[in-house]
């Protein structure tokens, strides 16, 4: 029997293999792009049918609250393996009759997933997919515009995701937001939204960490030293596009993988108190709106100056939310953190994330109406 064959040669792949035997492997996440330790990894196990395998991570512990995500069909479908398969920094798995089994720190979301989402809604009115720019590695950075597109909508909304490319569960929530806005007759008449699903498009496809990226984090790039094409394009185009009617700029993220501040959704406050007050009004609407099975409490948002949300965390440059809040016509700019795997003991799945996003869209509509 040959040693386990492990690689990361697929979109979103990330692993460093240190040692393998016929049934065991010692691996660690590849930190090639970041200045700090982080947790993202994804790898493929080939031709190991019928083996009971034991995978150990040798660096920091990168396993979330539901253990690893696993796909037995070459990445077509995913599920959480479950905490019961985990022991410290190791997990076990009985490989089924499949030549291509994949494991990841979370349930992935890549360009192919976005393309499938868009294809499933082709032909709907009030929906146009464009290219914001080309990435540093010449990939298209998508921009979706939806709602009332004749330039007369009284409200503009801006949504971004994947400033930190590994934060995939936020993308499933974004799908729900888009579907919620498309389903609303009121929004079709009164709202034009711009959606940028992958700010760090290269990092998503290359399987990078994204957080604290070298030489600069995408979410610290919103100033005169901006270096990334997507950031430069947003800074150049949004002020003119918003036309004095930018009501909400919302940046979707995922937090750390376990523990306090990492297993419930929350809005992140900035130093501008009027901006935060309006964000809290949106949070109150979300709390009172059907947002699916995952709980949300407005009392657990993160005001500026609390926990990690301080000036010390923004010394490397200005974030998207801080930049958007500085625009003269912005009503509210904030970020929303959405967990990878667990919310108050409940398992997070793509469908539950989409349901939360649809609830968020309904809350935004009510917030705008008030």
Instruction: Give tens-digit pLDDT for 150-175.
Output: 999 999 999 999 999 999 999 999 99
Assign 330 a pLDDT band (cuts: 50, 70, 90).
confident
| 269/334 Cα distance (integer angstroms) | 7
Q: Which of 286, 243, 248, 242 is nearest to 265 (CA)?
A: 286
Closest CA to 266 of 310, 309, 305, 297: 297
Question: What is the per-residue pLDDT across 131-154, written as a single tens digit (0 to 9) for each?
Answer: 999 999 999 999 999 999 999 999
Q: CB under 8 Å to 182, separation ≥6 — which residues?
A: 121, 124, 126, 127, 146, 188
Quick one: DSSP state of residue 279?
H
CA distances from 367 to 264, 269, 289 (A): 22, 17, 11
Q: Residue 172: is it exposed, middle or buried by C-beta count within 10 angstroms (0-12/13-18/19+)? A: buried
What is the signed CA dihedral for 162, 168, 172, 174, rounded to 10 degrees? -10
Note the pLDDT of residue 224.
Answer: 95
Q: What pLDDT, on the 0 to 100 scale, is given for residue 30?
A: 98
**138 is written with which tokens?**
């010449």
| Domain positions in the chain | 5-104, 111-369
pLDDT score recorded for residue 125 = 85
pLDDT at 147: 96
Select the CATH number that applies to the domain covering 5-104 from these four: 3.40.50.1440, 2.40.128.20, 2.60.40.3120, 3.30.70.1280.
Answer: 2.60.40.3120
Q: How far apart are CA 131 and CA 142, in angstroms?
A: 5
Q: In the structure, what pLDDT confidence band is assigned to residue 252 with cuts at 50, 70 and 90?
A: very high
CATH match of 111-369 with 3.40.630.10: yes
Which burial class, exposed, middle or buried, applies to 55 when counting CB atoms under 10 A from its CB (0-12, 13-18, 19+)? buried
What does the pLDDT read at residue 6?
Answer: 98
């Amino acid at each position: 029997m040959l040693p386990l064959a492990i690689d990361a040669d697929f979109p979103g792949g990330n692993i460093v293999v240190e040692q393998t035997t016929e049934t065991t492997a010692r691996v660690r996440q590849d930190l090639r792009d970041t200045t700090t330790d982080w947790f993202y990894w994804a790898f493929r196990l080939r031709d190991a049918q019928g083996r009971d395998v034991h995978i150990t991570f040798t660096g920091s512990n990168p396993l979330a609250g539901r253990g690893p995500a696993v796909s037995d069909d070459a990445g077509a479908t995913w599920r959480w393996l479950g905490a019961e398969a985990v022991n410290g920094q190791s997990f076990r798995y009985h490989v089924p009759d499949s030549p291509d089994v994949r494991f990841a720190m979370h349930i992935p979301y890549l360009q192919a997933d976005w393309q499938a989402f868009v294809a499933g809604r082709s032909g709907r009115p009030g929906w146009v997919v464009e290219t914001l720019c080309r990435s540093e590695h010449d990939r298209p950075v998508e921009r979706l515009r939806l709602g009332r597109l004749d330039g007369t909508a009284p409200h503009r909304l801006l949504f971004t995701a994947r400033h930190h490319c590994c934060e995939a569960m936020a993308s499933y929530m974004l799908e729900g937001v888009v579907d919620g806005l498309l389903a609303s007759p009121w929004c079709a008449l009164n709202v034009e939204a711009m959606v940028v699903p992958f700010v760090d498009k290269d990092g998503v496809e290359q399987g990078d960490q994204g957080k604290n990226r070298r030489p600069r984090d995408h979410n610290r790039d919103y100033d005169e030293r901006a270096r990334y094409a997507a950031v430069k394009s947003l800074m150049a185009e949004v002020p003119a596009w918003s036309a004095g009617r930018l009501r909400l700029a919302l940046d979707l993220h995922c937090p750390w993988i376990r523990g306090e501040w990492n297993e419930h959704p929350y809005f992140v406050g900035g130093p501008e108190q009027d901006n935060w007050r309006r964000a809290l009004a949106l949070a109150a609407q979300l709390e009172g709106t059907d947002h699916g099975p995952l709980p949300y409490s407005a009392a657990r948002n993160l005001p500026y100056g609390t926990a990690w949300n301080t000036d010390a965390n923004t010394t490397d440059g200005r974030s998207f939310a801080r930049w958007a809040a500085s625009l003269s016509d912005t009503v509210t700019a904030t970020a929303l953190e959405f967990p990878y795997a667990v919310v108050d003991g409940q398992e997070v799945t793509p469908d539950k994330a989409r349901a939360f996003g649809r609830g968020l869209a309904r809350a935004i509509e009510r917030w705008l109406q008030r």
